[in-house]
Every structure is written in structure tokens, then in C-alpha cells.
Structure 1
């Protein structure tokens, strides 16, 4: 098996998968294998997760680099035949701006500061918002299902009635966040800071079964779905 095929196999993809498929596979596998999802006292599994994450990161980086080089090659101009050595009159031409085909194929860099922005009712499902600053943003009624928000800053944000089904909120800053009537079924809030958050009416259970992961979550002073204040 070639090294390239090995990278595809690590991401559980067939050789020749698109860049979009590579990025999606990367997010799915990080969601499963991120060490922060595993209790540190389980040292064996924690070490395995760290090794898995390292391999996943390397495979994604190598395949993304290959994709950029591939696009640059096919978008670059074809070589021109050499001109005859006989005298030709010089033609005036206006200078053309130089462009990089590699850069043209790259998506524009996204601004990580989205604080105070209005995303009410927006469809943000499956997006990667990890590390973004969304403090005090309006996300009421937004679809954030399966969204990757590792270490996102949501302090003071309005997430009332938002759909956070299976959202990854590992180590998120969610102090004083408004989660009234939000759907949190399947969400991972491990290590998140929810001090002072309002979860009144939020969906976190099916019957008596808790369906939200909250390992190491800080809920001091938070208003729980039943209206009780967590102490």
C-alpha cells in the first residue's frame, strides 16, 4: 500500500476522494477520537486517542496539500513554443497582474471574530466553528446540528430554541448563554463552562435518560431545564 493510500485509509475514504469529503471525514473522526472526550483516568484509551488524532491530522494535512498542488498544476498555463530567432517587431503590451493559481483555489480566510453578529434562524448545520468568537451573537432558532464548535466562545450568546442536536461543544465558553428551549439531545458539552447559563425548557433527556454528554462541565449557577438553579 502506498503512503497516499494509507492517508485515505486513515480517514476511511476511497482513493481520489474530493477535498470536501476529506474535510468532512476529518471532522467526523475528530469528533469521535478527540482526547478531551475521554476521561483522563483511562490512560490507555486516552493515549490511543492522542495517537489517532495525530494520524488523522497528518492524513488531512497531506491530502489537502496534495489537492492544492493538483489544482495548481491543472490551472497553470501551458508552456508556449519558443519563438524563432529571426527578427520580429516588438509589440507593445500592457503589463498583466500576476496571480497565483494556488491562492485562487483556496477559500478566503474566515474572520474568527463573529461577536454580536445576527445568525437567528441561520442554517449552520455541519459547519466547523471551532475556536470562533461568537460571544453575544444572536443564534436564536439557528440549526447547529452536527456542528463542530470545539473551544468556541459563546459567552452571553442567544441560543434560545436553537437546534444543537449532536453538536460538539467540547471546552466551549458558554457562560451566561441563553439556551432556553434549545434542543441539546446528543450534544457533547464535556469540559464546557456553563456558569450562569439559562437552560430553562432545554431538551436534554428522553424520559429519565440523560442524552447530553457533560463530563467535567461547569454548571455552577446555571438554571437547569426544570427551572432549578444548579449548585
Structure 2
């Protein structure tokens, strides 16, 4: 269950204030599991290694967010803007990424088992070492169609 103090801080304070907190407390565990962050502007936020499992991030703006090493199992990221986000080594197993913008995102080493990537835009995304076992890649933007 999400830490309510952390959730309120993220929702009410500017991203740069949160990022300063993260710089000052890099080893603090961030629990946002099950949190409702749908339609929230989180562009550029540092959520390195945060627990966002089961969180609702649908339609959230996560442009250039640092989600490397984050736990996003079963999270709803449908229609989210993850362009240029760092999702390297994140656990996105069973996450819903349908219609998500992942243009130029880093998914290097990410775990995407059973993730729904239907209609997602993966143009320019780095998928090196990513583990993708999904039958829901249908209608994803083909990487060779990215112009």
C-alpha cells in the first residue's frame, strides 16, 4: 500500500522539489504501490527503484521520467506519455502499456513478461536485453516504420 505522505508530496509539490528530496535521500525506499497517479504531470520525475506495483498511471505525463529499476508489476500505464523515459531494468511484468507513448524510451534490460503493449509507440525505444514475452504486441508501432 502506498505511503500516503509520499503520495501527497508527489501530487502537491513541483517535480523539482521531489527530485531534490530524492538527491538528498537516495537510499530511501519509495512505496507508491497501488497509488492513483492517473492524469498526473510527472515529467522529469525521479522514481528510481520506486515500488509502483499495481499503481494507476493511466494518461500520466512521465516524459523523461527516471523509472530505472522501478517495480511496475501490474501497473496501468495505458495512454501514458513515457517518451524519453528511462525504464531500464524496470519490472513491467503484467503492466498495461496499451496506447502508451514510449518513443525514444530506454527499456534496456526491462522485464516485460505478459505486458500489454498493444498500440504502443515504440519508435526509437531501446529494447536491448529486454525480456518480452507477450501475446499483446498486436498493433504496436512497428520499429521499422518509425520515420
TM-score (normalised: structure 1): 0.48
Decide which structure has greater helix share. 1
Gaps of 5+ in 1: 1-19, 25-63, 65-105, 206-210
Aligned: 1:213 with 2:104: no
From the CA coordinates, give the structure whose radius of gyration is larger: 1
Are the counterparts in 1 of residues 53 and 75 from structure 2 also a CA contact under 8 Å?
yes
2:91 maps to 173
Are the counterparts in 1 of residues 116 and 134 from structure 2 also a CA contact under 8 Å?
no
Q: Which runs of 4+ in 1 moved over 6 A?
A: none
Please show how residues 1-231 of structure 1 align to structure 2 within 5 Å.
112-205=30-123, 211-226=124-139
Give 1:222 shift: 4.5
Give 1:199 shift: 0.7
Give 1:225 shift: 4.3
Give 1:145 shift: 0.4
Give 1:111 shift: 5.5
Are the counterparts in 2 of residues 195 and 222 from structure 1 also a CA contact under 8 Å?
no
Q: RMSD over aligned Cα, in angstroms?
A: 2.3
Give 1:146 shift: 0.4
Q: How many residues align?
A: 120
Structure ranking higher on relative contact order (CA contacts 8 Å, 6+ apart): 2
Q: What secondary structure, in the 3-state scheme, does the structure 1 residue paired with 2:139 have?
A: coil
Gaps of 5+ in 2: 1-15, 141-147
Q: How far, CA to CA, are the matches of 1:203 and 1:123 in structure 2?
A: 19
Give 1:151 shift: 0.3
